[in-house]
Structure 1
Amino acid sequence: MVQNPHLLTHAYSDLEPFQRLLKTIRFILHHPFLPKSGNSSLKTLTNALQDDKIIIGNGIHTLRKDIEKILKPYKILPNFPLKQGYFAGTGIFSRQELGKVFAVLQSQAKSLEDPMALSTYEMFQQRMTHSKLDPPSTYPVRAIRNRCIVDADSLQDSALLNHLDKLENAIAQGELLELNRIKGGGRFAGDHDGFFQAWPLQIVFYNHAWYLAFQHHGGNQDKLFRFGRLDRLFIGRALGQTRDMKQQWQSLEKLEKLHQASAGLFLGNSASQQQQLLSSNKSEQSAVQVTVELWFNDDMFRFVSEGTKRFKHIKMSPPLTANPSLPKSLFSLPKTPDPNFSNRFQVILPKWALDDVDFFPWIIGFGGQVKVIKPQELVDKIKKIGADICRVYQD
Structure 2
Amino acid sequence: MRHGYAIGTALLSAHRLREIHGVVSQAAGRLADPTAQDLLSELKQRLAWGGIEVDDSSPVRAFANRSIVSSALVRPDSLAAERQAEALETAIVERRRIELERYASVGSFADSPAGSFRVWPLQLLFHNIGWYLVYEEDAIGTSEGLIRSERIDRLALRRSERGNRRGDDVHAQALKRLELLLHHSGGIYFGDNLDGQLRLASPNPRLRATQLVTLRFCCQGWCFAFIREGLQRYPIEHTRFSKPLPGEHWWHHPKAPHVLEPGSAADSHPYPVELDLPPWTVERDIDLRNWLFGFGAGIRIDSPQPLRDEHRQKLETALAVYQPA
Count of matched residue positions in the alignment of Structure 1 and Structure 2? 309
- Between the aligned partners of 2:193 and 2:18, the Cα distance in structure 1 is 46
1:324 is displaced (CA, Å) by 5.9
TM-score by length of 1: 0.73
Computing the radius of gyration from Cα coordinates, the structure with the larger value is: 1
Determine helix, strand or coil for the equivalent of 1:284. helix
Determine helix, strand or coil for the equivalent of 1:310. coil
Cα gap change, 1:238/1:168 in structure 2, threshold over 3 Å: closer, same or farther? Answer: closer
1:148 is displaced (CA, Å) by 1.0
TM-score by length of 2: 0.88
Q: Which has the higher strand share?
A: 2
Residue 342 of structure 1 aligns with an amino acid whose one-letter code is: P
Q: 2:196 pairs with 267, 273, 283, which one?
A: 273
1:191 is matched with which residue?
112
Identity of aligned residues (%): 28
The answer to whether residue 87 in structure 2 is matched with residue 161 in structure 1 is no
1:19 is matched with which residue?
none
Residue 260 of structure 2 aligns with an amino acid whose one-letter code is: L
Determine helix, strand or coil for the equivalent of 1:152. coil
- Between the aligned partners of 1:203 and 1:30, the Cα distance in structure 2 is 31
- Higher relative contact order (CA closer than 8 Å, sequence separation 6+): 2
2:133 is matched with which residue?
212
- Between the aligned partners of 2:180 and 2:206, the Cα distance in structure 1 is 17
1:250 is displaced (CA, Å) by 1.3
1:257 is displaced (CA, Å) by 0.5
The answer to whether residue 297 in structure 2 is matched with residue 389 in structure 1 is no
2:297 is matched with which residue?
368
Q: 2:25 pairs with 73, 96, 106, which one?
A: 106
Residue 269 of structure 1 aligns with an amino acid whose one-letter code is: D
What CA deviation, in whole Å up to 9, does each residue of 1:102-126 have, x standing for no partner? Answer: 2222222222121221221132123
1:47 is matched with which residue?
none
The answer to whether residue 159 in structure 2 is matched with residue 237 in structure 1 is yes
Alignment of 1:338-357 (within 5 A): 339-353=267-281, 354-357=283-286
What CA deviation, in whole Å up to 9, does each residue of 1:255-302 have, x standing for no partner? Answer: 111011003211001111101111233443233211011111111111
Determine helix, strand or coil for the equivalent of 2:96. coil
Residue 314 of structure 1 aligns with an amino acid whose one-letter code is: T
Alignment of 1:1-395 (within 5 A): 29=6, 91-162=10-81, 163-218=84-139, 223-240=145-162, 241-312=164-235, 313-318=238-243, 321-323=249-251, 325-328=253-256, 330-337=257-264, 339-353=267-281, 354-394=283-323, 395=325
- Between the aligned partners of 1:100 and 1:238, the Cα distance in structure 2 is 37
Residue 28 of structure 2 aligns with an amino acid whose one-letter code is: A
Determine helix, strand or coil for the equivalent of 2:76. coil
Structure 1 portions without partners, runs of 5+: 1-27, 33-90
> Contact conserved, 2:7 with 2:47, CA < 8 A, in 1?
no
> Contact conserved, 1:125 with 1:136, CA < 8 A, in 2?
no
> Contact conserved, 2:32 with 2:71, CA < 8 A, in 1?
no
Determine helix, strand or coil for the equivalent of 2:104. coil
Structure 2 portions without partners, runs of 5+: none
- Between the aligned partners of 1:239 and 1:127, the Cα distance in structure 2 is 35
Cα gap change, 1:30/1:123 in structure 2, threshold over 3 Å: closer, same or farther? Answer: closer
